[in-house]
């Protein structure tokens, strides 16, 4: 007799329940999820009930380093069918060499015919070592960053000289004009068309570049070849500018930061320094005088006499001072970063005239005033660093032209703010017919933006010795201004000015107001004018 299902004993249902359980074990659980883990070149299929990517990786036996990258992130919840990708990230430091290509440089020269070219220096590539940090993901480079770069061999510029002769018309030049161009000295005498390079070797460093009062000798400095830390950094030379192909005379004087001729052209005053860090020297702030001619009036090496002992007083004294010999030959004016005054050459005594707060340039250069004497040797004019409302004294951009007498009875401001590169120049005592008023003038440059005079353009102006009758003379209306450094000099008779504009020299006639370009090579840097 059959037993109803509801009344069947439990032992009769066990085989059926066991079969059903075995069948269910072959299917995914309602709580399980299938994921694929891609790591180390393998695809690992995983049926898991864990909640996060981190747990799934642990279940798959995949370990993670701190630098490895996981997609999606470790805290992301697991979903059915998800692919988890493990990217093995590695870093490596390598050093590679690269070529430093040489630059092409073109120099204009008046020593070649117009259009003619000459290879002055062949170019040569340099080499640099660069240290990189490289990132790899699964062995494939995905990024690199440069940690530092060291030049192990400097590139050598290729220099081509292009002739520009005939680009400017020849004009008459009273006296002799010497100028520095391309590290060589050039001279024009009587006419600008007769300009020619002097036999100086083309290695002038620019510390000293001074033409004797009669224009027959040039004083200049050349860097030494020594690399010793305590060795000299330059030598002083003198060259006869009249004798063709005359060899320069090397004087027994080294480490010169400034030098200038006495008014009679027979002696030289100079100041020295020692080799040091930036800017390359440390000034001694001394003063020496060296006679350059013997009893037969022949150029000779002679023994120097010290006038002023070395000193380090005053702020920024390591930079050094500027000097100017008085027209009567009895005194030398000095300008330091914080003071101007003069030295009596007979006694060696120094007399301060005007102290001021030095300018903080926040760099390895120091501002020092440019000095100029009146023709009668009674007054000194220069640019003074003055106070400015709203700024600390050392940051002031107030620069004014002042004049002082040696007895300290006259202390007069001649201009308002004119800029740090004003560089006033007193004209020589002129003939009554050479300029309109028959009296000496002061030429000076005025910044178009006095509050930013370091980079400002400048206008060249003249004024009477008392600061009256100011008038702009250059540039002409509609032309761009003059750029620092400002270089301009009076002719020996006070009737003309030579000035530097964008690497070339220009002649300004005080009577006619005409301007003539004297050079065309664009390489001029310094200029001297003698009778």
Residue 510 lies in a domain: no
How many residues in the chain? 531
300 domain-assigned: yes
Paired sense of beta strands 411-413 and 425-426, if any: unpaired
Residue 101 and residue 68 share a domain: no
pLDDT at 199: 83
* 359-363 LR contacts (CB < 8 Å, sep 24+): 359/385, 359/394, 359/395, 359/396, 359/420, 360/394, 360/395
| pLDDT interval class at 22 (50, 70, 90) | very low
Q: How large a percentage of the chain has pLDDT more than 90?
A: 56
**Is 83 found in the same domain as 96?**
no
Residue 17, pLDDT above cutoff 90: no
Span 93-113, average pLDDT? 79
Residue 284 scores a pLDDT above 60: yes
Asked if residue 120 and residue 212 are part of one domain, the reply reads: no
Determine phi and psi for 181, rounding to 5 degrees: -145, 125
How does DSSP assign 265-320, residue by residue? SSEEEEEEEEE-STTSEEE---EEEEE-B-TTS-B-----EEEE-----STTTTT-
80, 138: one domain: no
The pLDDT, as a whole number, for residue 406 is 93
230 and 292, same domain (yes or no):
yes
Specify the range with the lowest mean pLDDT, choosing from 28-37, 343-352, 430-439.
430-439
Which range (62-66, 269-273, 330-334, 376-380) has the least confidence? 62-66
Do the beta carbons of residue 503 and residue 524 sit within 8 Å?
A: yes
Domain count, the chain: 3
Q: H/E element holding 24?
A: helix 14-25
Q: How many other CB atoms are found less than 10 A from the CB of residue 433?
A: 10
Percent residues over pLDDT 70 in the chain: 89
Q: What share of the chain is helix, strand, coil (3-state, %, to 5)?
A: 5, 45, 45
Strand partners, 273: 283
- Rounded CA-CA distance 316/80 in Å is 76
Quote the pLDDT of residue 427. 95
Report yes or no on 268 lying in a domain: yes
Direct distance between the N- and C-terminal alpha carbons of the chain, in angstroms, rounded to an integer = 151
Answer whether residue 325 is part of any domain. no
pLDDT computed for residue 459 by the predictor: 96
Q: Using an 8 Å Cβ cutoff, are 265 and 217 in contact?
A: yes
Residues 323-362 have pLDDT tens digits of: 999 999 999 999 999 999 999 999 999 999 999 999 999 9
What's the pLDDT score for residue 12? 44
Query: Of 312, 347, 369, which one is at a domain's C-terminal end?
Result: 312
Confidence of residue 182 (pLDDT cuts 50, 70, 90): confident
Q: Are residues 286 and 302 in the same domain?
A: yes
- Note whether residue 317 is domain-resident: no
pTM for this model (two decimals): 0.70
Q: Tell me if 381 is assigned to some domain.
A: no
| Shared domain check, 102 and 65 | no
pLDDT-based confidence at residue 296 (cuts at 50, 70, 90): confident
The CATH number covering residue 150 comes to: 2.20.230.10
Express each pLDDT in 498-530 by its tens digit: 999 988 999 999 999 999 999 887 888 899 999
Give the whole-angstrom CA distance, residue 97 versus residue 151. 10
Q: How far apart are CA 147 and CA 130, in angstroms?
A: 7
Kindly tell me if the per-residue pLDDT of 321 is higher than 90. yes
Last residue of a domain, one of 269, 288, 312: 312
Residues 215 and 300 in one domain: yes
CA 14 → CA 17, 287, 392, distances in Å?
5, 121, 101
Same domain membership, residue 83 and residue 98 = no
Q: Is residue 292 part of a domain?
A: yes
Dihedral (CA of 337, 341, 345, 346) sign: negative
Q: Which domain holds residue 42?
A: 36-87
C-beta atoms surrounding 394 within 10 Å = 13
Domain boundary among 257, 291, 312: 312
Residues 102, 81 share a domain = no
Q: Over 80: is that where the pLDDT of 107 sits? A: no
pLDDT value of position 111:
62
- Listed range (66-80, 259-273, 434-448) with the worst mean pLDDT: 434-448
Res 160: pLDDT: 78
Quick one: 60 and 117 in the same domain?
no
Sheet order of strands, 379-386 included: 371-373, 379-386, 398-405, 411-413
474 pLDDT higher than 70: yes
pLDDT for residue 166: 56
More confident residue, 247 or 117: 247
Instruction: Specify whether 134 is located in the same domain as 65.
Output: no
Residue 121 falls inside a structural domain: yes
What are the strands of the beta sheet with 104-109, ordered from one edge? 104-109, 158-163, 117-121
């Amino acid at each position: 007799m059959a037993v109803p299902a509801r009344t069947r004993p439990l032992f009769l249902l066990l085989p059926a329940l066991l079969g059903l359980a075995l069948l269910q074990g072959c299917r995914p659980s309602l709580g399980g999820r299938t994921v694929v883990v891609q790591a180390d070149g393998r695809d690992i299929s995983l049926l898991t009930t864990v909640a996060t990517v981190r747990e799934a990786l642990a279940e798959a036996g995949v370990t993670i380093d701190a630098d490895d990258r996981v997609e999606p992130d470790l805290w992301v919840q697991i979903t059915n069918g998800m692919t988890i990708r493990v990217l093995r990230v590695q870093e490596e430091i390598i050093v590679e060499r690269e070529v430093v290509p040489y630059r092409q440089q073109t120099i204009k020269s008046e020593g070649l015919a117009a259009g003619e070219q000459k290879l002055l220096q062949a170019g040569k590539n340099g080499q640099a070592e660069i240290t990189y940090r490289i990132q790899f993901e699964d062995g494939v480079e995905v990024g690199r960053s440069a940690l530092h770069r060291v030049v192990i061999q400097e590139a050598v510029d290729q220099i081509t000289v292009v002739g520009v002769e005939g680009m400017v018309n020849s004009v008459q030049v009273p006296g002799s004009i010497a100028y520095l161009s391309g590290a060589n000295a050039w001279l024009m005498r009587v006419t600008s068309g007769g300009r020619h390079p002097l036999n100086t070797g083309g290695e002038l460093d620019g510390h000293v570049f001074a033409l004797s009062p009669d224009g027959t000798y040039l004083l200049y400095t050349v860097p030494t070849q020594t690399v010793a830390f305590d060795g000299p950094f330059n030598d002083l030379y003198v060259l006869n500018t009249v004798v063709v192909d005359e060899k320069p005379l090397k004087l027994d004087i080294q480490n010169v930061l400034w030098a200038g001729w006495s008014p009679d052209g027979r002696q030289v005053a100079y100041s020295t320094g020692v080799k040091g860090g930036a800017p390359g020297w440390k000034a001694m702030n001394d003063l020496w005088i060296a006679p350059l001619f013997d009893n037969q009036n022949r150029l000779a090496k002679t023994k120097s006499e010290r006038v002023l002992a070395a000193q380090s007083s005053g702020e920024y004294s390591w930079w050094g001072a500027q000097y100017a010999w008085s027209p009567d030959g009895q005194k030398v004016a000095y300008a330091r970063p914080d003071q101007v005054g003069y030295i009596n050459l007979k006694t060696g005594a120094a007399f301060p005239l005007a102290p001021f707060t030095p300018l903080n340039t926040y760099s390895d250069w120091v501002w020092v005033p440019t000095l100029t004497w009146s023709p009668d040797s009674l007054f000194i004019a220069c640019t003074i660093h003055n106070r400015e409302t709203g700024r600390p004294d050392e940051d002031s951009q107030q620069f004014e032209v002042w004049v002082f007498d040696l007895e300290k009875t006259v202390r007069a401001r001649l201009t308002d703010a004119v800029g740090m590169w004003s560089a006033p120049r007193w004209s020589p005592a002129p003939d009554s017919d050479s300029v309109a008023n028959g009296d000496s003038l002061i030429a000076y440059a005025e910044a178009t933006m006095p509050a930013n005079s370091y980079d400002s353009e400048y206008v060249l102006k003249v004024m009477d010795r008392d600061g009256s009758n100011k008038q702009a003379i250059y540039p002409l209306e509609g032309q761009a201004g003059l750029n620092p450094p400002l270089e301009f000099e009076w002719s020996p008779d006070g009737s003309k000015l030579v000035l530097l504009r964008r690497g070339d020299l220009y002649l300004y006639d005080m009577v006619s107001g005409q301007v003539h370009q004297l050079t065309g090579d664009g390489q001029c840097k310094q200029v001297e004018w003698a009778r």
